[in-house]
Chain A
Amino acid sequence: MKPISFLVHFLKDFERGIRSRSTDYLAYELRELENIFSLLLLGSLIGVPSPPSSLSFRLFPHMLREIYVMGKRTKDADDVSGEIFGLFAP
């Protein structure tokens, strides 16, 4: 890549990175909402009486990604502060 072209691409991406920092808050909030929604849908499997288990089982194949994310969140549960500090950098 030629130097000028590299510089232009770099500056464009750099600017995108700076702006994306401000959308992290939204992404975080959305992730938490998705998490809560997933928990609600699969609630019957952990003792929450709604929705019926049969419905939860029928939703299972469509929620692979959500279940994977929730599983990993559980793994990271001993380091929640790390993410929060990264997000709200003073």
Chain B
Amino acid sequence: MPTWVVIVIALAIYVAVYVLYGRKVARDVVKVDPTRQTPAHRFYDGVDYVPGKWPVVFGHHFASIAGAAPIVGPIIALAWGWLPCILWVWLGNAFIGAVHDFLALMASVRYDGKSIQWTSGEVMRPRVSFIFSIFVYLTLILVVAAFANVLAGIFIATPPVATASLLFIAVAVLIGYLIYWKKLNLTAMSVLGVALMIAAIAGSFQIPLALTKNIWMVIFFVYIVVAAALPVTILLQPRDYLNAYLLIAFLVLGGIAFLGVQASMTWPAFTSFSATVIGGQPSPFWPAVPLVIACGALSGFHALVGSGTTSKMLDSEAHALKIGYGGMLTEGFLSTLVIVAVGAFGLSVAGVTASAVGAAGWKALGIPVFSQSYAIGVNAVFGISVAFGAVFASLTVAAFVLTTLDTTNRLARFAWSDILTRGVRSEEARKKPVFRFFTNNWVASVIPAGLGIYLATVSGVFSALWAAFGGANQMLAAIALITSSVWAVNVMRAGRACLVALIPAFLLWVTVAAAYVWYLFTMAGIVNPLTLVIMGIMLILSFYLLYEFIRALRKGPAKTA
């Protein structure tokens, strides 16, 4: 099938579900009322609550939810064939992910901009919010582990990307220094930053940095702890600023290239129901698919973003559908581009035939294959050299992963202190040296970084660790959707219309719980026991949250927003 046909079908589906389904959810479940003031207006202070034009809020929201995960997941999942992958992305987007993001955003809007975590305590019981925090903390450890593994894989497979990434960090620090300390012109520094990024990519071929995985892991550990402790103006903010240009260039070049390129899908549409996807083991598409394709189809972190900051910027309730529902569809479109790129060029880039891959049990292709495929598409339309395009694509993924690693550690440090403070209520106990030791900033930072890097180092099979992260993310999404469902049933009292939230919430929970059970049995002896312990705890917590969900539904309407 020609690639442009796949992309046109994707666009048609996204427009159709947005108009026909998204608007129905907005009208019947949330009862969107453009005349009702949003928190940004009700609590306007020019500081925390500020309404923004919807395209600006959309861009802000999209930059917050987009990262490396919608790229990495589909590449691995292609082992099942491009058709089931793309169907999971499209259907997952339309009926679960986008509904999840939209409801979390609107629940927050109706609760004065409070987070989904807070809402879970409000619509169920306060202890649910605490369990939510523990769940998020465990997820963050797995994020560090999975993304450190992804980054090491990219750096080892393509050493120039390692050089370009380190140079990119140096460029970010330099630009931050020139802007904040030397007070030089922002526009001039932005141009300089972009020019230096291009020079970094071009120069990376001259000095490729080839190190072993263990050495990279030590570097990552030091980087995570130090980067998470630095003031944001030194590294995080200038790098995020430059990342914005990377993301825009990546989307514009890729979007136009794969709409215009003359190519066909060469990867098989369907390979096997039990392809060799996770941990080198035959992995059934159901229930294992959400362990692999996480953010491309749906993501629990989106609920945290939507309810944490986006809800405080919303100018009108009428914009929520565009931003919450539309933002998820846009991210799904990014995953669609990834599937199309690797589906069209993956086999030729890897230098294999479909039958050879089939004979090996349909194993997943790696991220470098995606970068090369992306570069071929961009080369065909824009004439940019394949080598440059491949490093550019890998650098974009690596830049997102690096940001993910240090922001995750900042979050984990905060979540750790939050859990301990909420868990230990006695003032006497809080004064004890052991409590003060564990809530110390450096200790709180070293624990998740150490555990994550340890798991990344000892877990030999990349896809197994990725699946652990994917499962945690998807269960987080199930919990957020459960919270939104209870809100829709008990607070919005939307009647039968609530089924659009209840059914996906329940199906997602069942699918991910089944995937957890499959993972725990199949991966025993393959991944580090600590990974299994973390997933086991999360499975138990998710059963408890399901109990709270059912309890809240049986209790019926009680509170109003």
CB distance from B27 to the nearest CB of A (A): 24
Binds B, one of A40-48, A50-58, A64-72: A64-72
Name the contact of A72 in the complex, choosing from B43, B56, B61, B407 (C-beta under 8 A). Answer: B43
Q: Do the beta carbons of A26 and B244 come within 8 Å of each other? A: no
Q: Do the beta carbons of B60 and A89 come within 8 Å of each other? A: no
| CB within 8 Å of A: which B33-61 residues | 43, 45-49, 52-53, 55-61
A-B contact pairs, 21 of them (CB 8 A): A20-B59, A21-B60, A24-B309, A27-B47, A29-B232, A72-B49, A79-B118, A80-B418, A81-B117, A81-B414, A81-B418, A82-B308, A83-B309, A85-B115, A85-B117, A85-B308, A86-B308, A88-B407, A88-B408, A89-B301, A90-B408
Q: Do the beta carbons of A86 and B309 come within 8 Å of each other? A: yes
Q: Do the beta carbons of A21 and B64 come within 8 Å of each other? A: yes
A69 to B194, CA, bound (A): 37
A14 to B310, CA, bound (A): 14
Which residues of chain B are within 8 angstroms of A37 by Cβ–Cβ distance? Answer: none
B406 closest partner in A (C-beta): A88
Name the contact of B411 in the complex, choosing from A14, A27, A90 (C-beta under 8 A). Answer: A90
Q: How large is the interface on B (under 10, 10 to 19, 20 to 34, 35 or more residues)?
A: 35 or more
A4 within 8 Å of B (CB atoms): no
Which residues of chain A are within 8 angstroms of B404 by Cβ–Cβ distance? Answer: 90
Q: Do the beta carbons of A22 and B244 come within 8 Å of each other? A: yes
B3 within 8 Å of A (CB atoms): no
Q: Do the beta carbons of A88 and B43 come within 8 Å of each other? A: no
Q: Do the beta carbons of B117 and A17 come within 8 Å of each other? A: no
Q: Do the beta carbons of A9 and B309 come within 8 Å of each other? A: no
Most chain B Cβ neighbours within 10 Å, of A18, A19, A68, A73: A18
Q: Do the beta carbons of A68 and B45 come within 8 Å of each other? A: yes
CB distance from B538 to the nearest CB of A (A): 17
Q: Do the beta carbons of B60 and A18 come within 8 Å of each other? A: yes
Q: Do the beta carbons of A86 and B305 come within 8 Å of each other? A: yes
B54 closest partner in A (C-beta): A13
Which residues of chain B are within 8 angstroms of A24 by Cβ–Cβ distance? Answer: 309
Known: A82-B117, A89-B65. A15 touches B248 (CB 8 A): yes
| CB within 8 Å of A: which B217-259 residues | 231-233, 236-238, 240-241, 243-244, 247-248
A42 to B233, CA, bound (A): 28
Q: Which residues of B contact A (CB under 8 A)?
A: 43, 45-49, 52-53, 55-65, 67, 113-118, 133, 136, 140, 143, 231-233, 236-238, 240-241, 243-244, 247-248, 301, 304-310, 404, 407-408, 410-411, 414-415, 418
**Shortest Cβ-Cβ A-B pairs, 8 listed:** A86-B308, A17-B59, A82-B115, A13-B55, A86-B309, A22-B240, A25-B232, A21-B63
A87 within 8 Å of B (CB atoms): yes
Q: Do the beta carbons of A89 and B407 come within 8 Å of each other? A: yes
Q: How large is the interface on A (under 10, 10 to 19, 20 to 34, 35 or more residues)?
A: 35 or more
Most chain A Cβ neighbours within 10 Å, of B45, B57, B61, B233: B45
Q: Do the beta carbons of A85 and B305 come within 8 Å of each other? A: yes
Name the contact of B241 in the complex, choosing from A9, A17, A22, A34 (C-beta under 8 A). Answer: A22
Q: Do the beta carbons of A78 and B118 come within 8 Å of each other? A: yes
Q: Do the beta carbons of B114 and A79 come within 8 Å of each other? A: yes
Q: Do the beta carbons of B60 and A20 come within 8 Å of each other? A: yes
Known: A90-B140, A90-B408. A84 touches B60 (CB 8 A): no
Which residues of chain B are within 8 angstroms of A23 by Cβ–Cβ distance? Answer: 237, 241
Which residues of chain A are within 8 angstroms of B65 by Cβ–Cβ distance? Answer: 89
A31 to B28, CA, bound (A): 38
Which residues of chain B are within 8 angstroms of A83 by Cβ–Cβ distance? Answer: 48, 115, 308-309
Which residues of chain A are within 8 angstroms of B310 by Cβ–Cβ distance? Answer: 86
A21 to B59, CA, bound (A): 8
A29 to B96, CA, bound (A): 35
17 more A-B residue pairs beyond the given contacts A16-B59, A17-B59, A85-B411, with a C-beta to C-beta distance below 8 A: A9-B55, A13-B53, A17-B63, A18-B62, A22-B244, A25-B233, A25-B237, A26-B232, A34-B47, A69-B45, A73-B48, A82-B117, A84-B411, A85-B136, A86-B305, A87-B308, A90-B301
CB distance from B119 to the nearest CB of A (A): 9
